[in-house]
Structure formats: C-alpha cells, structure tokens
Amino acid sequence: MCLLCKKYVAFLDDSKKMTIQEIILADAAATEEAGRYLGRSLQTGDIITLSGDLGAGKTSLARGILSELGFQEEVPSPSFALMIDYEPPEVSLPVAHVDLYRLDNPEDIQELGLDEFAFYGALLVEWPERLGQVIDQIWPDRLALHLDILEDNRRRLTWQRPSYWENRWPPLEY
C-alpha cells in the first residue's frame, strides 16, 4: 500500500464497501504526476470523476492521465464544449473528458452519450456533483477523486475506490 496514503473504510450500505485514501501533492507538477500514475492503469469502461473547487487541479490531473496515454498537446478544460474526445492515434485508449459544470438538469447527461462511449473508452468527468444522487445509480463503480487546495499551493487528493479498482489505484510504487 502507498506509504504516503492514509486509509479509511466507509460503508455506503450493506452491499458496498469503498476505500477512502488521501495523498498530499506538493504542486501542479505532482498533481500531473499522480494523473500519469492513474493513466498507467486506465482501462476500457473506466469512469473517473474529478471534483473540487475551481483551480483545485482537476484539469491538471486529467492532463497527466492523457499525457500517460500519449497525448502530446495542451489539455484544455472542457468547460465550454462540455466534452472533448481523445481518440487513437493521439492516445492509446479513447477518453472522453467531460465537464458537467454547465449541466442544468441531471437528466441532460443522457444526451451526451457517455454510457455508449464507456463501452470502448474511458470517461474523465469533472464536476460530477452536478448529477446529484443519480451518480450512484448510473456509475456505481466509478473512481471518485476529489482535490482540495491547501496552503503553499499544495493539494490534497482524496478518493473513494470501489473494489473494482482495488488492485489498480493507488499504484503500489506511488
């Protein structure tokens, strides 16, 4: 297990057990590096949600993931487009980078076609809290990441990891 992590177990209900852990990241470069570690274990069908305040580092984490998958250009926030697709040959695995900040109604998510995309790629979803409680119904096996801004430009990365992710996150070498 990761030596920098603190481990907690939260019982969501009788049938699900999620592990909650945290890492303190020194700066934006460390946030991108954590994303690269995550990118190494990303698989088809994976759904990763990224939450945190504006400027917390959600897009930096996504930038690290996409960099590890081979994307060489700048990774913009998908705030205005709602979704940016990254497809081979730019990346080794298709990824949809989604920003739900401007989503007015959780039911509107169906129009984005994210479930279909997850059949052949992975989803990185910023601002998942815009979906409310419905998120637990549509993506129960997601890796839920949260970033908090700390003093001195550091970040606290916490996550809820369902058993589906047990042997993939966090990487043992992190």
In a domain, 1, yes or no: no
Give 20's pLDDT tier (boundaries 50, 70, 90): low
Is residue 125 pLDDT above 70, yes or no?
Answer: yes
- Would 93 be classed as within a structural domain? yes
- Asked if 135 contacts 12 with a C-beta cutoff of 8 angstroms, the reply is no
Closest of 163, 165, 150 to residue 31, by C-alpha? 150
Q: Does residue 174 carry a pLDDT above 90?
A: no
pLDDT recorded at residue 115: 79
Mean pLDDT of the chain: 83
Phi/psi of residue 164, each to 5°? -55, -30
For range 100-114, the mean pLDDT: 82
- Dmax over Cα atoms in the chain, in whole Å? 44
Assigned domain for 173 exists:
no
Taking the C-alpha atoms of residue 57 and residue 152, their distance in angstroms, rounded to an integer, is 14
Classify residue 170: in a domain, yes or no: no
Query: In the predicted model, is pLDDT for residue 19 greater than 80?
Result: no
- Work out the pLDDT band at 172, boundaries 50, 70, 90: low
Task: Give a yes or no: residue 171 inside a domain.
Answer: no
What's the confidence (pLDDT) of residue 31? 92
Residue 41 reports pLDDT greater than 70? yes
> Which is more confident, 9 or 27?
27
pLDDT at 13 over 60: no
pLDDT level of residue 7 (50, 70, 90 thresholds): very low
Cβ atoms 144, 19 nearer than 8 A? no
Any domain includes 11: yes
Is residue 8 predicted with pLDDT exceeding 60? no
Which range of 40-54, 103-117, 156-170 scores highest in mean pLDDT? It is 40-54
* Length of the chain counted residue by residue: 174
SS3 9: strand
Give the pair of three-digit tokens for residue 75. 């990774």
Instruction: Please tell me the predicted confidence (pLDDT) of residue 1.
Output: 33
Domain assignment present for 120:
yes
pLDDT of res. 42: 94
Question: Total structural domains in the chain?
Answer: 1
Could you tell me the residue range of the domain that residue 68 belongs to?
Answer: 6-165
CATH number, domain at 119? 3.40.50.300
Rounded Cα gap, residues 158 and 7, in angstroms:
10
Residue 124 lies in a domain: yes
